[in-house]
Every structure is written in C-alpha cells, then in structure tokens.
Amino acid sequence: MPNHLANATSPYLQQHADNPVDWFEWGDMAFAEAKKRNVPIFLSIGYSTCHWCHVMAHESFENEAIAAILNKHFVAIKVDREERPDIDRVYMTYVQATTGHGGWPMSVFLTPDLIPFFGGTYFPPKDSNGRAGFPTLLNRIADLWENDREKLRDSAEKTLEKIREVTGSPAANGDGFAMEPNEILDATFDQFASGFDARNGGFGGAPKFPRPASLEFLSSELTRHGSESGKGHQAQSMLVKTLDAISAGGINDQLAGGVHRYAVDAIWHVPHFEKMLYDQAQLVPLYLDAYRMSGDEHHATMARQILDYVLDDMTHERGGFFSAEDADSALPEDPTKHGEGAFYTWSHVEIAQLLSDEENRVFSECMGIVKGGNVDPSSDPHHEFTGLNIPFRASPPESDEDKATLKSAIAKLLVIREKRPRPHLDDKILTAWNGLMIAAFARAAVVLNEPRYLSAAQKAATFLRDELFNSESNNLRRSWRDGRASIDGFADDYAFLIHGLIDLYQADFDTDWLDWAQRLQTRQIALFHDAEDGGFFSTKGDDASVLLRMKEDSDNAEPAASSISAQNLQQLSAMLQHEEWREMASSTISAFSHTLENSPTALPLLAVALSRSIKNPPSVIIVTDNMHSPLVAAARQHSPSGTTIVRVPTNPDERVFFAKHSSLIHDLPAKEQAFLCRENTCSPPVSTTDELIALLKN
C-alpha cells in the first residue's frame, strides 16, 4: 500500500512512496495526526541524489520491522531539503548546535508542536561498537516520551530558546563595521591564503569541495589589487591552480563533462559522483573569468564541456534545467545491484577490449589508466573502487596524432557508457538553481561568442516566466515537475533569478529581462527584506510551521540570498540610477558585519559586494542600435568586475522601459556614443573604442 507520498512532486519523496513507513508530507495533516495521537514526530530530511539517504532508506525505511516501530510510536514526515530549504535550515541549525555536526539524511525527533528534542544524521540498522542502532534509538525515544514526556518538552523548549537567541541576536545582524572595509577584505584574503593547498589547489585537505564562492572572491581580489601586485598575483595563482586541478582531476567527468559534487581525497581524483546543477552553474563563470584573464583555451574548453553536459543531460525539452544526477547507479554486470560511480568507472581490461591497441595506449597514458586500478586504497575505505580506474588528466597528448587518437577513444567509450544503466536524474526544476544556470549560459554566450548558449539562457528564462511566475502578483514559485509548480519561492529563488536576468539582459539587451528583474527585486524586498536590521530573511515569515525566521549567513555550496541580493542591488541601482537600492545594498552588507569581521571566509560573495562598494563599479551606457557595436565589444572586454552594461536605442521613442525607470537614460542624445555613470553622474560622452577603453582603465 502506498503511503501519503504517492502524489508528491518531489522525486525524493516519490522514492519513499512505497516504503512500509507511513510517511506524511510536511503539513497540517501530519501535524494534526501527531496531536491527535499525542506522539512525537520523526522528521527525515534528505534529497534524491544523496548516497547515505539511499543507504538508510534501504537499511531501515524499507525494513518491515523497523517501519512497524516507526508507525506505532511516531508520525513520520519526509522532507526534500531542496524543495524546503526553510525547514532544513531550522532543524540543521538544531542538529549542528546539539551534536557539533550535520549532514543528510538528517533525522530529527519533534514534539507534536514541531519543537526538536533529539537529532542526528544517519543511524545504522543495528547496534554496533557501543552505538545504538536505529530500532534501539526509536524504542528508547518512544519510552522516554511515554514515561518522561514533560522533561523532554521542557528541555526542547529551552534548547529552542537558546537557538532563537543566537540566530536573532544583534551580533548576528550586525551593528556597523569596527574595521575598515579594506582591512576586512585583507583578512578574508589572508585566511583563504593560509588554508590554500599549494600542492593540489583548493583549500584544506580531504574531502575537497570546489566551493565556487571562495574562488569568486579570489577573482574579485585580482580586480581589487591588479595582476601586477603581489596579492593580485597570489590571488590569480590560487584561482588558476584550483580551477586547473578541478578540470584535470577525476572530480571532472573527463569523458562527457560536468563536475561531480566533491572529491573524497585531497588531490581531486576520487569523487563523490553526484552532479549538482548549482555546481555547474557557479563554476562556468569562473572558468570564463580565467579565460578572459589568461587567454588559455583550456579554461574556455572546460566551460564549454560543463555547459554542453548540462544541455545534453540536464535540460528539459522546454528549456528548464534539472536539479541533479545521482552518484549511484545499477551495476552494468548486475542491474539488481547498485554502486556509487558504477556509471563512470572502468577496469583496464574493459578499456583494452573496447579500444584499439593505439587508442588504449594513448587513452591510458593520458587518463592515468593502470592495471589493477588507479584508486588509492586509502581513498576507498569501503573498497567500492578496488581494481577500477577513474579517468583523470594524467598527461597531455604528445602530438596532434595523439590528440585525434584520444578523441576517438573517448568517443568509443562514451558509446559503451551510454549503454550502462544511467544514474537517477532528479528532474525537478528549481527556480533558484535555474537562475544561476541562466547567468552561466548568458555570460558564456558573450565571452565565447556562442549563440546557442544565449538561446539556452533565453529559453530557460522564458520557461520560468511561463511556469513559475505569477505576473499579477509578481510572486515566484520554487519548484516545478511534471507540469506542476509547487511551494512559494524563497529569498534565494528571487535573488538567483534576478542575478540570472541581469546577466541575460547584458547578453542580449532585451529590456523585458531587465524589467522582470526590477519587478522581482521590488517583490523580494517586500517579502524578505529586514527593514530594521538590514539583509534578507530566507523566508516570508507567514508560515507558523517554520519555527525560526532566519538569515543565511554563509556562502557554502549555494550562495546566501543576502550575498547575491547585495550584488543585484548594486548592479540594478547602477543600471537604473536607483539610489535607494544602492543604499539597501550597503545596509545588507553592514547587516553581516559581525560575520565579515569575525569569520572572514564565511561570506566570500558578500565580501565581493563589499569590495565593489568601495570602488563603486560604473555602469557603461551605450547609445546604439547595433547589438554588435565596437563600443559594446570594448565595454564587454575591458570592464572591471561588477561593471554593468546598458544599451539604449538611439530613437527616444523606443526607450519605453528607460522612460519608466530612468529619466537620466531616457534623455540621452540620439547618437552612437558611450558614457560611464556612477550615482546619477555620467562622464562626458565618448564615441570611439579607444576613448571608452581609456575611460574604463581610469
């Protein structure tokens, strides 16, 4: 019999719809059931491509005996963290505060009033080495609830109150900067530099996460200091070394493109094989920046490979981008069994059988393929990859002939790989992650002069506007799957989509995107902005089931909404001469002064916004009817980081959007020329590329 998840839109919830556990979705039905039965809630939070979520599901949630304990003593609720980051954030804060760590699957026990009283992550199905297994834990908690309920409730209330005090304290909101902005940026840079792995790239040891936010900060520091300075050179070195290490490592799918979630080792070789859309979206602009900096074609190639992977494997026919591909898949030799990386790994015997002798030689030399497998046993404690090879860029092909041979070998192996059982695809379309991906495609269209990337960005934006946006209320929805949009958008949905639309406008100069961006910005402010202390709450605050209204204060795998919002406000205020939004950007940065000063590397993208607030990058306004005007090309090539570009038609009658939003732009003379504008003040016009480049350099 299916449980209450049968009609859920989330692929993760659908994976559990036939469990013997009587799962409920998060909502009034589950809460009412817990209160009626007067039993605690077991809350399980994860996502569909989470390896250890699969493990706990197979071991415990598909186990009839364990399910019987859960059903008898608890109301079980299953939540997809990607659809409901608000719920995940509240209970992750509790688990981290009470255990010192967090992760998924997250397992939390709540009172019927949704107050947590015990939590953790993965629990094994049996007692082992002094650690209680999941059935033992369930029975102990059921017994405590039955015999010592008030003590549990009292302890839970006190813990929640402490968390509420910490997350809502003035120190967390900030009360202005005690340090000078450049001091904060220097401290942030120094902390990243001290943790940099000079041998392997990246920061710290194993496991290694790309963490694009930290790399974007380094790119910004290169702009702040200049490549000729000591710190500028150091920033460039750290950035390029890390990007090169990622592209060369096993964390990068060397056959078909796309970057895996993280590497379990320090050398980027053995990945955790899931592929997340937000990683692809955030890495592409970094490779494009590196390509603009160095002219190294390898960086452009890496950006193309990621984008082409997304187009091939993670794009809906109507243009929206899917969320993730799983790490696990069925074993080619036994489809009834699953293994991590089964789709991506190879034995040397299989490769030798599939390729010609020359192809095998070149592929093995270039991709580090060896007899007995190339995985260090210390990186493989569960022996999942014993005897297998994970391709990585061990050495470049030595000649043009070897290049052609390598290309032929990869093509043959891809044909075989595509016949293997593919990893599970999480095919929900999330507004926030699509916003990041739109920005990546739009930037690539400009830097690589690739029309199909612009088309991909336009098509995705059109899909979101058609399916996840209410044009009457200006409200966004967060998630779409199989024709159904669900869940009101959160602050990051607005922030990331606005970010994408700003970049898309600067790629095709269609003011419809800019108009939509400013409408969304106005709505985001109304729903999420903290007018008292600055910054943006993650949630609207109208859902009583979400116990804490929080502000995300770290740029982790995904950026914090306030970090991206500060940058959006800076750019929109520059493009539309919107002084109030410029001030709001500054107050958003100040709201996190405590974090910026005391935990410098926690908010690298907000530090980028802080850096831009010092130099106040201009907006380049170009009056022209020619999309490919040399003035446009010069502005794109020579503008410093954070600069926005606005194209204005020469005919005043065609400036409808600007007439509505910017009298300064609307009144510009009707001849081809360019201006640099800051805070409602523009430079004298220039009409040649040399003059514009000189302005930008100064």
- Asked if residue 195 lies in contact with residue 159, where contact means CB atoms within 8 angstroms, the answer is no
Q: How many CB atoms lie within 10 A of CB 99?
A: 12
Query: pLDDT at position 615, please?
Result: 80
Residue 633: its pLDDT value, please? 94
Q: Could you give the CA distance from residue 510 to residue 361 in angstroms, rounded to a whole number?
A: 51
Regarding beta strands 681-682 and 673-678, do their DSSP bridges make them parallel or antiparallel, or are they unpaired? antiparallel
Task: Report the distance separating Cα 599 and Cα 602, nearest Å.
Answer: 6
- Domain-by-domain residue ranges, the chain? 11-167, 344-419, 619-697
Name which of 461, 471, 514, 493 is nearest 565 in CA terms. 493
Token reading at 433? 């992650």
Q: What is the pLDDT of residue 175?
A: 57
Pick the CATH number of 619-697 from 3.40.50, 3.40.30, 3.30.70, 3.30.60: 3.40.30
Q: In whole angstroms, what is the distance from residue 456 CA to residue 504 CA?
A: 10
Q: Where are the beta strands (DSSP E) in 53-132?
A: 75-80, 106-110, 116-120
H or E segment to which residue 24 belongs:
strand 24-25
Write down the residue that tokens 């998840």 correspond to.
5
CB 235 within 8 A of CB 225: yes
Alpha-helical (H) ranges within 226-347 are 230-248, 277-294, 297-313
pLDDT at 1: 58
CA distance 414 to 406: 12
Question: Considering only CA atoms, which of 631, 647, 696, 610 is closest in space to residue 220?
Answer: 610
User: Backbone phi, then psi, for 542, in 5-degree steps?
Assistant: -105, 10
The residue among 38, 10, 39 whose CA lies nearest residue 25 is 10
pLDDT confidence of residue 169: 53
What Rg do the C-alpha atoms of the chain give, in angstroms?
26
CB 462 within 8 A of CB 319: yes
Q: What is the mean pLDDT of each run of 10 residues along the chain (698 residues)?
A: 87 96 97 97 96 94 97 98 96 93 95 95 91 95 94 90 75 68 95 96 95 96 85 94 98 98 96 96 97 93 98 98 94 83 96 97 98 92 91 96 97 96 96 98 97 98 98 97 95 98 97 97 97 94 90 94 97 91 95 92 97 88 92 92 91 84 75 86 90 90
Q: Domain 11-167 has what CATH class?
A: alpha beta
CA-to-CA distance for 603 and 589, rounded, in angstroms?
A: 10
Please report, in angstroms and rounded to a whole number, the separation of the first and last CA atoms in the chain: 70
Instruction: Tell me the three state secondary structure of residue 356.
Output: coil
Alpha-carbon gap, residue 589 to 319, rounded angstroms: 34
The residue type found at 227 is S
Rounded to the nearest angstrom, the gap between the alpha carbon of residue 429 and the centroid of all alpha carbons in its chain is: 13
